[in-house]
Chains A and B, each alone.
Chain A
């Protein structure tokens, strides 16, 4: 459910030659943490809320994204493009109200980017995550900040959806294989603005691979990761349809203290926008305060962000705009108070997002893929 999928749409070739995400996929770890080139698209998302010893709070996002433009490279040259690798690194400085982010795109080349089980790393230049046993080491170097984190899963990986597939639309293969680490304890250092912070907190990791998941009428989505203080986690995604309806393939997952997960259908929860923030960069109106209701769990939450401006205002070059930022949750669970933290991703607010490959019209391109200059 990630924003970079929009780019995929712009670049997509007919997906027929790639494998579709279908029920019955057998997961094997750690291999399944790495690349699945037989699927066209794949991503690894790390987000998290961190605090320095002083209490100063930061949010971060580190994202790796692979998209195959062709099933086979055109030539033996490593520069021949089979996979494009994109990445985002973002830092939310909650206290100072600053949001910093960078994007990056590479081909596999002679080793510029990749996801390699042999070395245990997923990387794009000097942004990387490397598995060292169960632990993952994250590193992101930008001109403005350098983040080094070690994240340790507190629960086993969760496989979303049913029978190993997370359905996103009607029709065969409109689905993904979707794995999450919903509670990662994170420690590390941040060098930023001339200071060095020792950080600790909780992170979330999503890894998803698929070939052809969404349909035309789906305009955008709102994705929540919720890490509650009672050691349970919740993932909710609402797909918005043209005309404002909620797509029936919206869904969610509850992860219990034990690590056991429970699938939620669209009808199991309700997401209601409360306050909107207007992006000065794109003019998009993003709901940054929400009411979340999950009657089946007797859960009612209010979601609010400590920093309104966490929009990655897509550059003219590659990416559409989306909002992805740190969130605070507060509410009641089965009558008692509950709080939590997590992340929210919102897409399709500056313009409708087309999610399927563009029709091969002459000179035609996925009209919505590139924001206007």
Chain B
């Protein structure tokens, strides 16, 4: 045991300590890779954890909830309350609003404070006193700091003063406001309606109780386990999280290349030592294990550092994710980040796994070293002979497999095969890299680029195994940047074009209380008619949306004024369906159209029947067509306004689209509209502003993706620096010899920089080619299967050129320090060592 430890120390730890900078760089690369994984995982969990109903902490957990799209008639509560089964029922009326002072979104919850007296945050005498005041609220600490405070709240398009009667405590309740149920109905404009009824069963309840309850429910009312909505939100978020998670592993994969490189160099350098050890009786297993242990040490140390880095990065990642979740999925207040055993376990698992896996090949190589061979041959003359041609066959095989995988369907709703295709392509590129370098190095460029370049290229070719790995790492990172860049650029361009085409109205009007993902804030129903009377306005189109649940996933149910949509709108249907014909039918009855993400998520095709529980009735709609839409991932089911009013008679619109008279002046029209809306809390947004806002949200959504890419690239550049450093140290003799042969110090530096330049250029070219292929997979396989969006391919050429230029520059910069080191080599000293 002791001997083995000594072996480990002598053979591995000491060299590591002897080259602290290179060791540090490798560690940093692993730490960054692990850190990103940790950050995304913990931020993702915090972001998803926030959907848990915050009220559970106040009112206790329910067993079931009763819901229906568009709410429940409150008489249902009275009916259920008299069922002779031992259940307790808690009605909820919910909605969102904003603090007038800061615009902070808040969650409003109406509960029966009298019946739930025992569970509510207030009780007894104070409660009854407060209930005599209609504008009493109880709220979390983000809303008010002490009872008695008056706060101004914007709900829908109205601002009103409320008196804080008490504070509520509990995780996730900071921005929650509790009102008595009647006050909530009034404030949220839901007279006579409940959003949910929470059901609690006694522990001893028999299954008969649930059956009795189910029997008593009218058709079109859902009874589902409590927390189903939380689950739905989580499920909806799953694709987003999954893809981010996969992206977070890119840096780690790049890191794996670098660990491989480090260990391979280690093996290479210590060939003679290994030979000696083997000659002295060390077994193959011991030698191999020692190198695996070295790599495991890198993995473990990297993971420990990665946890720290991840902790730091998680804050930022959570901020970015939370804003995306709020805007695109559902209003949430992120749960606190937690670094528990699972996260720590993850860090060490991925750190060690990546380290050991990437060191496997070099470790086996080391184990294979025959004592005689290692001792007999010159220390510097060995280079792993690569079966260049065989590798090319492998490349072809991998690439074909990738092609096949990219054609596969999603597995379990996830684009597993798409990711497999991407990984296979990266592997194919890695295998092709030696051949590529070999081919380039054979070119006679001396006349073109000078003798330093020639020597540099020959150097690369001489150490083909090592340079290929380096170039592979950089190429992978570059390829991912390019692929993601093309994806995002194409997506952005597609959305931008769509916005231009879709946003046909001159102005849009929203209630001030509207928040990102929820559609529960509405406008005064009288407003549309008032605006229609303005001289400047040609048409006012009312749009209404409800948050609903469809097949276990959140969705929007929306109503449009079909005749106006025909006249003014510019919906585009997939598969070349005839817009006119579809819209003509839409207005005539129980027909629906659906947005593309909705249809692809639920696998729906025109002609399918959508069954929706609507306000206690079961409604069926025939799907007429699927239209392109990039506004939301939840997706829309759109029906005619009059048809929906037949089920849900609330005439209040979610937003208005205002079309101006031909030739009307925008500025004066805006002023006229604002006058007409005076006293109402509304947001008037011009066409251009809305478009800008949409693209701003788009960019914010992808900020985290760019950040992940940047980190992966940094890892690659760090790796490049470390590897070049190793190169200098390993080739001291050769470099010194060059000096003796008359090379100037600057020439030596140029040589080194030239190698980096050649390697970088090769990597970027290979990376670009790979990146294009990956982009196709991302856009047409992974995105389509995860989110269901059709994206037109666009080349963000400027952006990519800039990114690649930056990477190239960073690679050269990374070569500067090793180059200076090489330049400063004292040739006499070096030769003397020999």
Please tell me if B806 contacts chain A, counting CB pairs below 8 Å: no
Please tell me if B526 contacts chain A, counting CB pairs below 8 Å: no
Please tell me if B180 contacts chain A, counting CB pairs below 8 Å: yes
Please tell me if B102 contacts chain A, counting CB pairs below 8 Å: no
- How many residues on A have C-beta within 8 angstroms of the other chain's C-beta atoms? 37
B77 engages A112 (CB within 8 Å): yes
| Residue of B83, B86, B118 most packed against chain A (CB within 10 A) | B86
Please tell me if B404 contacts chain A, counting CB pairs below 8 Å: no
Please tell me if A111 contacts chain B, counting CB pairs below 8 Å: yes
Nearest opposing residue in chain A for B73, CB measure: A110
A370 engages B125 (CB within 8 Å): yes
A143 engages B181 (CB within 8 Å): no
Q: Which residues of B contact A104 (CB under 8 A)?
A: 115
Contact of B86 among A69, A70, A111, A142 (CB under 8 A): A142
Find residues 340-359 in chain A having any chain B CB closer than 8 Å to their own CB. none
Please tell me if A230 contacts chain B, counting CB pairs below 8 Å: no
| A373 → B minimal CB distance (Å) | 11
A126 engages B204 (CB within 8 Å): no
| B214 → A minimal CB distance (Å) | 17
Q: Which residues of B contact A143 (CB under 8 A)?
A: 86, 202, 204
Q: Which residues of B contact A128 (CB under 8 A)?
A: 82
Please tell me if B225 contacts chain A, counting CB pairs below 8 Å: no
Q: Interface code A362-373, partner B: CB below 8 Å = 1, 0 otherwise?
A: 000110011000
A110 engages B85 (CB within 8 Å): no
B186 engages A77 (CB within 8 Å): yes
CA distance A369 to B181 in the complex (A): 26
Contact of A126 among B85, B123, B134, B186 (CB under 8 A): B85
A315 engages B118 (CB within 8 Å): yes
B124 engages A317 (CB within 8 Å): yes
Please tell me if A107 contacts chain B, counting CB pairs below 8 Å: yes
A110 engages B75 (CB within 8 Å): yes
B114 engages A77 (CB within 8 Å): no
The verdict on A125 contacting B86 (CB below 8 Å), with A105-B114, A110-B75 known, is: no
| Residue of B115, B128, B185 most packed against chain A (CB within 10 A) | B115
Q: Which residues of B contact A10 (CB under 8 A)?
A: 125
B78 engages A109 (CB within 8 Å): yes
CA distance A141 to B202 in the complex (A): 12
Nearest opposing residue in chain A for B123, CB measure: A317
Q: Which residues of B contact A299 (CB under 8 A)?
A: none
B185 engages A317 (CB within 8 Å): no
CA distance A104 to B181 in the complex (A): 18
Find residues 111-138 in chain A having any chain B CB closer than 8 Å to their own CB. 111-112, 123, 125-126, 128
B75 engages A79 (CB within 8 Å): no
Chain B interface size range: 20 to 34
| B110 → A minimal CB distance (Å) | 9
CA distance A81 to B114 in the complex (A): 9
The verdict on A125 contacting B81 (CB below 8 Å), with A74-B134, A106-B115 known, is: yes
A79 engages B180 (CB within 8 Å): yes
Contact of B75 among A107, A111, A125 (CB under 8 A): A111
Please tell me if A84 contacts chain B, counting CB pairs below 8 Å: yes
CA distance A139 to B81 in the complex (A): 13
CA distance A316 to B118 in the complex (A): 9
B114 engages A139 (CB within 8 Å): no
Q: Interface code B190-212, partner A: CB below 8 Å = 1, 0 otherwise?
A: 01100000000010100000000
Q: Which residues of A contact B131 (CB under 8 A)?
A: 81
CA distance A365 to B123 in the complex (A): 13
Find residues 63-96 in chain B having any chain A CB closer than 8 Å to their own CB. 74-75, 77-79, 81-86
| B114 → A minimal CB distance (Å) | 5
CA distance A316 to B86 in the complex (A): 23
CA distance A139 to B86 in the complex (A): 12
A109 engages B125 (CB within 8 Å): no
Please tell me if B302 contacts chain A, counting CB pairs below 8 Å: no
Q: Which residues of A contact B413 (CB under 8 A)?
A: none
Find residues 134-159 in chain A having any chain B CB closer than 8 Å to their own CB. 139, 141-143, 146
B84 engages A317 (CB within 8 Å): no
Q: Which residues of B contact A77 (CB under 8 A)?
A: 182, 185-186, 191
Q: Which residues of B contact A100 (CB under 8 A)?
A: none
Q: Interface code A38-68, partner B: CB below 8 Å = 1, 0 otherwise?
A: 0000000000000000000000000000000
Q: Which residues of B contact A69 (CB under 8 A)?
A: 128, 132
CA distance A79 to B81 in the complex (A): 15
Q: Which residues of B contact A70 (CB under 8 A)?
A: 132
B83 engages A126 (CB within 8 Å): yes
Contact of A141 among B79, B84, B125, B192 (CB under 8 A): B84
Nearest opposing residue in chain B for A77, CB measure: B182
Please tell me if A258 contacts chain B, counting CB pairs below 8 Å: no
Q: Which residues of B contact A125 (CB under 8 A)?
A: 81-82
B124 engages A318 (CB within 8 Å): yes
| B278 → A minimal CB distance (Å) | 76
Contact of B115 among A11, A105, A111 (CB under 8 A): A105
A80 engages B118 (CB within 8 Å): no
Nearest opposing residue in chain B for A109, CB measure: B78
CA distance A80 to B204 in the complex (A): 35
Q: Which residues of A contact B183 (CB under 8 A)?
A: 79
CA distance A112 to B132 in the complex (A): 20
Nearest opposing residue in chain A for B191, CB measure: A77
Q: Which residues of B contact A109 (CB under 8 A)?
A: 74, 77-78, 112
Find residues 257-300 in chain A having any chain B CB closer than 8 Å to their own CB. none
Q: Interface code A82-96, partner B: CB below 8 Å = 1, 0 otherwise?
A: 001000000000000
B82 engages A110 (CB within 8 Å): no
Q: Which residues of A contact B115 (CB under 8 A)?
A: 104-107, 112
Please tell me if B525 contacts chain A, counting CB pairs below 8 Å: no
Q: Which residues of B contact A80 (CB under 8 A)?
A: 182
A11 engages B128 (CB within 8 Å): yes
A111 engages B78 (CB within 8 Å): yes
Q: Which residues of B contact A79 (CB under 8 A)?
A: 112, 180-183, 185
B128 engages A141 (CB within 8 Å): no
CA distance A10 to B118 in the complex (A): 17
| A367 → B minimal CB distance (Å) | 10
Contact of B81 among A74, A81, A126, A142 (CB under 8 A): A126
| B674 → A minimal CB distance (Å) | 32
| B369 → A minimal CB distance (Å) | 75
Nearest opposing residue in chain B for A364, CB measure: B125
The verdict on A106 contacting B182 (CB below 8 Å), with A81-B131, A126-B83 known, is: no
B128 engages A75 (CB within 8 Å): no
| A71 → B minimal CB distance (Å) | 13
Q: Interface code B286-298, partner A: CB below 8 Å = 1, 0 otherwise?
A: 0000000000000
| A129 → B minimal CB distance (Å) | 13
Q: Interface code B111-134, partner A: CB below 8 Å = 1, 0 otherwise?
A: 010110110000111001001101
CA distance A128 to B84 in the complex (A): 10
Q: Which residues of A contact B114 (CB under 8 A)?
A: 81, 84, 105-107
Q: Which residues of B contact A337 (CB under 8 A)?
A: none
A369 engages B75 (CB within 8 Å): no
Q: Which residues of A contact B181 (CB under 8 A)?
A: 79
| A321 → B minimal CB distance (Å) | 15
CA distance A117 to B691 in the complex (A): 62
Please tell me if A30 contacts chain B, counting CB pairs below 8 Å: no
Q: Which residues of A contact B124 (CB under 8 A)?
A: 316-318, 370
B82 engages A126 (CB within 8 Å): yes
CA distance A104 to B82 in the complex (A): 13
CA distance A183 to B229 in the complex (A): 53
Instruction: Give 8 pairs: A residue, B residue, CB < 8 Å, sorted on A.
Output: A77-B186, A78-B182, A79-B183, A128-B82, A139-B84, A141-B86, A146-B84, A370-B124
4 tightest Cβ-Cβ pairs between the two chains A and B: A79-B182, A111-B78, A143-B202, A110-B74
A residues lining the B interface (CB < 8 Å): 10-11, 69-70, 74-75, 77-81, 84, 104-107, 109-112, 123, 125-126, 128, 139, 141-143, 146, 315-318, 365-366, 369-370
Q: A69-B128, A78-B74 are in contact. List 9 more A-B contacts (CB 8 A).
A: A75-B182, A77-B186, A79-B185, A105-B117, A107-B112, A139-B84, A317-B117, A317-B118, A365-B125
B residues lining the A interface (CB < 8 Å): 74-75, 77-79, 81-86, 112, 114-115, 117-118, 123-125, 128, 131-132, 134, 180-183, 185-186, 191-192, 202, 204
